């Protein structure tokens, strides 16, 4: 029984940590333990560890941790790539070790031994494509093509030169400080891929997220069917109702079946919970990036628009406050004017409410189908652009 409670506590703890890490900054969690756990995971734990190393080992310990942080977070490195391969390899090995002996079974045919391997192979292929493909590096040879493909909107993108690459900076591009290169239609630098996600490999990144979501769902459902098959083959329901006198109803049978599954197949249950949680996370990531692609926006541009709108709102509020202050001073200076009634003053609209709403004008959003086409067939790979490049060369 202690094992069962340990498994339940493990699942709840894992879910809490994952939700806190990914969603702790959401407004709905402000002032809750989830927000506190998020701050501890993302900032507090590392700071406490850094102080501990400094207290025990002095400056050498602190400098060692900072050098490791620099290597892992500020320079290209394969650490997360190795972790990904270890996770997917270990997960597949454990599934094969614990569940393949029950395939074929009551609900699954033997073909799933091979389709599972094929599915994992396709996932690794998409991982390699995303990791090692060119994200759309801006070079002297192609900068003119990117400049013509992505016009400046003069809002979040203006004509300028990259101070590092010393090249004209096309709209929608960004210099990645980790990779030390300018990337066209820059979305973000992905540590798991050890590569930037940009104009040329966004399609592979989306395919990677979608396929791994489906892969985790496939694994969860397949293991569920294996367990359901064992339940049927061993006639557990029949034994419980006939020999143990358990009432043949869901409410009566469920606790006994769950107890039996946790006792006999705890490894499979843990794998199901793990893959179900990962599939939900992947679904969220895919939905977020798919929505960006459907509106022809990038993660980098989302942050740029947030900063621009925030700045414009503050500017509008400052102007409205100045106008209200001037009106108040003018009213105080005016003489012989009858005082305004309290009722009218109460319902009078504040000048701050008259500030203009800042509208997000995305000039790169060309419509649903065009946006999808641009992701699947990047502008730098199209025949028209290649023809223009060869002509100009």
Residues catalogued as catalytic: 190
Helices (H), 100-201: 112-132, 143-149
* Omega prior to 138 cis, within 30 of 0: no
Give Cβ neighbours of residue 171 (< 8 Å, ≥ 6 apart).
Answer: 147, 150, 151, 152, 153, 157
| HSE-up of residue 254 (Cα within 13 Å, Cβ side) | 3
Instruction: Give me the residue label for tokens 């990259």.
Output: 162
Distance CA 25, CA 39 (A): 9
Distance CA 354, CA 316 (A): 9
- Give strand pairing partners of 188: 197
Distance CA 351, CA 324 (A): 6
Distance CA 173, CA 181 (A): 10
């Amino acid at each position: 029984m202690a094992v069962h409670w340990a498994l339940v506590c493990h699942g709840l703890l894992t879910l809490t940590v994952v939700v806190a890490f990914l969603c702790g900054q959401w407004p709905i969690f402000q002032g809750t333990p989830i927000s506190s756990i998020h701050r501890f995971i993302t900032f507090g734990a590392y700071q406490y560890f850094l102080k501990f190393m400094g207290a025990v080992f002095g400056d050498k310990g602190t400098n060692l941790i900072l050098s490791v942080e620099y290597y892992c977070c500020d320079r290209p490195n394969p650490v997360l790539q190795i972790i990904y391969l270890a996770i997917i390899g270990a997960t597949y090995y454990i599934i094969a070790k614990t569940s393949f002996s029950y395939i074929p079974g009551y609900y699954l045919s033997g073909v799933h031994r091979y389709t599972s391997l094929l599915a994992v192979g396709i996932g690794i292929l998409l991982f390699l494509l995303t990791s090692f493909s060119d994200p759309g590096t801006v070079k002297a040879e192609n900068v003119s093509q990117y400049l013509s493909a992505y016009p400046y909107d003069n809002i979040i993108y203006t004509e300028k030169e990259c101070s590092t690459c010393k090249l004209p900076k096309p709209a929608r591009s960004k210099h990645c400080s980790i990779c030390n290169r300018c990337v066209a239609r820059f979305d973000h630098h992905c540590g798991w891929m050890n590569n930037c996600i940009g104009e040329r490999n966004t399609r592979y990144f989306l395919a990677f997220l979608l396929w791994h979501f489906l892969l985790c769902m496939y694994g969860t459902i397949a293991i569920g069917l294996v367990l359901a098959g064992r339940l049927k083959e061993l006639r557990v329901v029949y034994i419980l109702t006939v020999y143990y006198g358990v009432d043949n109803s869901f409410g009566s049978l469920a606790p006994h079946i769950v107890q039996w599954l946790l006792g006999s197949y705890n490894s499979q249950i843990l794998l199901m919970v793990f893959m179900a949680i990962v599939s939900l996370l992947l679904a969220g990531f895919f939905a977020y990036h798919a929505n960006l692609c459907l509106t022809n926006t990038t993660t980098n541009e989302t942050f740029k628009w947030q900063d621009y709108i925030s700045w414009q709102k503050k500017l509008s509020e400052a102007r409205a406050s100045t106008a209200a202050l001037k009106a108040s001073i003018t009213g105080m200076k005016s003489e012989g004017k009858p005082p305004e009634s309290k009722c009218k003053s109460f319902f009078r609209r504040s000048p701050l409410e008259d500030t203009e709403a800042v509208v997000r004008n995305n000039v790169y959003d060309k419509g649903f189908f065009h946006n999808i086409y641009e992701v699947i067939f990047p502008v730098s790979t199209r025949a028209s652009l290649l023809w223009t490049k060869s002509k100009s060369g």
